[in-house]
Amino acid sequence: MDGKGLSVKNQNMAKVELKISGMSCAACSARIEKRLNKVAGVAKASVNLATERANIEYDADKVKTDDLIKIVDDLGYKAERIENISKDREKEQREKEIKKLKAELIASAILSSPLILAMVFMLTGIDVPFLHNEYFQLVIATPVQFIIGLRFYRNAYHAIKARSANMDVLIAMGTSAAYFFSVYNAFFAHPVEMGMMKELYFEASSTIITLILLGKYLEAVAKGKTSEAIKKLMGLQAKTARVVRNGVEEDIPVEEVQVGDIIVVRPGEKIPVDGRIIEGNSSVDESMLTGESLPVEKKVGDFVTGATINKFGTFKFEATKVGKDTVLSQIIKMVEDAQGSKAPIQKIADRVSGIFVPAVIGIAVVTFAAWYLATGELNSAIVNAVSVLVIACPCALGLATPTAIMVGTGKGAEKGILIKGGEHLEMAYKLNSVVLDKTGTITKGKPEVTDIIPLGSMEKNEIVKLSAVAEKASEHPLGVAIYEKGKSEFGAIPDPAKFEAIPGRGVAAVFDDKNIYIGTRKLMKEKGLDISKIESDIAKLEDEGKTAMLMAVDDRVEAILAVADTVKEHSGEAIEQLLKMGIDVYMITGDNERTAKAIAKQVGITNVLAEVLPENKAEEVEKLKKQGRIVGMVGDGINDAPALATADIGMAIGTGTDVAMEAADITLMRGDLRAIPTAIKLSRRTMRKIKQNLFWAFIYNIIGIPFAAFGLLSPIIAGAAMAFSSVSVVTNSLSLKRYDPEK
Q: Are residues 483 and 363 in the same domain?
A: no
- Which pLDDT band, with edges at 50, 70 and 90, does 3 fall under? very low
Q: Are residues 350 and 398 in the same domain?
A: yes
Q: pLDDT: is 344 or 98 the higher one?
A: 98
For residues 484-511, average pLDDT: 90
Q: How far is CA 415 from CA 6, 319, 329, 688, in A?
A: 43, 27, 17, 19
Task: Say what the pLDDT of residue 719 is.
Answer: 66
The answer to whether residue 356 scores a pLDDT higher than 80 is no
Beta bridge partners of 296: 284
Q: Are residues 214 and 104 in the same domain?
A: yes
The answer to whether residue 20 scores a pLDDT higher than 60 is yes
For residues 281-301, average pLDDT: 76
- Which pLDDT band, with edges at 50, 70 and 90, does 241 fall under? very high
For residue 347, count CB atoms less than 10 angstroms from its CB and return exposed for 0-12, middle for 13-18, buried for 19 or more. exposed
User: For position 515, which CATH number holds?
Assistant: 3.40.1110.10
| Segment among 232-236, 280-284, 324-328, 672-676 with least mean pLDDT | 232-236
Phi, psi of 657 (to 5 degrees): -85, 155
User: For position 415, which CATH number holds?
Assistant: 3.40.50.1000
Position 620 in a domain = yes
Task: Say what the pLDDT of residue 318 is.
Answer: 94
Position 246 in a domain = no
- Which pLDDT band, with edges at 50, 70 and 90, does 37 fall under? very high
Residue pLDDT, tens place only, 645-664:
888 998 888 755 455 556 67
Q: Are residues 667 and 633 in the same domain?
A: yes
In the chain, the amino acid numbered 470 is: A
Domain termination residue (choose one: 539, 567, 595): 567
pTM of the model: 0.66
Question: Of these residues, 168, 437, 636, 672, which one is catalytic?
Answer: 437
Q: pLDDT: is 25 or 400 the higher one?
A: 400
Position 2 in a domain = no
Position 253 in a domain = no
% of residues, the chain, pLDDT over 70: 88
| Segment among 63-67, 162-166, 242-246, 380-384 with least mean pLDDT | 162-166
For residues 75-96, average pLDDT: 79
| Segment among 62-76, 263-277, 671-685, 723-737 with least mean pLDDT | 723-737
The answer to whether residue 7 scores a pLDDT higher than 50 is no
The answer to whether residue 44 scores a pLDDT higher than 80 is yes
For residues 48-73, average pLDDT: 88
Q: Are residues 343 and 201 in the same domain?
A: yes
User: For position 56, which CATH number holds?
Assistant: 3.30.70.100
Q: Are residues 438 and 450 in the same domain?
A: no
Q: Are residues 528 and 451 in the same domain?
A: yes
% of residues, the chain, pLDDT over 90: 29
Tell me how far apart the alpha carbons of residues 743 and 740 are, in angstroms, rounded to a whole number: 6
- Which pLDDT band, with edges at 50, 70 and 90, does 161 fall under? confident
**Number of separate domains in the chain:** 5
- State whether the Cα torsion 379-382-385-387 is positive or negative: negative
The continuous run of DSSP H or E covering 687 comes out as helix 675-709
Q: pLDDT: is 737 or 586 the higher one?
A: 586
Q: Are residues 448 and 437 in the same domain?
A: no
Task: Say what the pLDDT of residue 422 is.
Answer: 79
Position 241 in a domain = no
Position 549 in a domain = yes
The answer to whether residue 735 scores a pLDDT higher than 60 is yes
Q: Which domain holds residue 730?
A: 92-231+336-404+688-738
Task: Say what the pLDDT of residue 39 is.
Answer: 92
- State whether the Cα torsion 432-637-740-334 is positive or negative: negative
Position 9 in a domain = no
Q: Are residues 199 and 110 in the same domain?
A: yes
Q: pLDDT: is 27 or 656 the higher one?
A: 27
251 is catalytic: no
Q: Are residues 104 and 175 in the same domain?
A: yes
Position 331 in a domain = no
Residue pLDDT, tens place only, 248-260:
899 999 989 999 9
Domain termination residue (choose one: 273, 295, 322): 322
Domain termination residue (choose one: 523, 552, 567): 567
Q: Are residues 112 and 171 in the same domain?
A: yes
Q: Are residues 104 and 216 in the same domain?
A: yes
Task: Say what the pLDDT of residue 511 is.
Answer: 93
For residues 167-192, average pLDDT: 78
